[in-house]
Amino acid sequence: MRVVAIPPRLPDGAETRLVFERCVGLTFPVIDITPHGHVELEVGEVMGVPAYLHSIWIEADCLERVQSLD
């Protein structure tokens, strides 16, 4: 999925906002989806660490489906 927008309401914290800002325009695999439609993405690479060290939960309307290269 490609992150195309930052959710309007984020938890407080400069690092949280920074992670979301760095994700915009990039693609990530889906790790999990809640019944309410929030999508988990592992995004550690945008912070210079392995992907699994940072994950975000983001609303589906902030994402765009992209075709897998597999």
Q: What is the pLDDT of residue 41?
A: 97
Q: Residue 15's pLDDT is what?
A: 84
**What was the pLDDT predicted at 55?**
93
Predicted confidence at residue 21, as pLDDT, reads: 93
In a domain, 69, yes or no: no
pLDDT in tens, the chain (70 residues): 999 999 988 877 788 889 999 999 999 999 999 999 899 999 999 999 999 999 999 999 999 999 876 5
HEC letters along 8-60: CCCCCCHHHHHHHHHHECCECCEEEECCCCEEEEECHHHHCCCHHHCEEEEEH
Indicate the pTM of the whole model. Answer: 0.86
Residue 43 belongs to what domain range?
Answer: 2-64
- Judge whether 32 lies within some domain: yes
70, part of any domain: no
Instruction: Domain count for the chain, please give it.
Output: 1
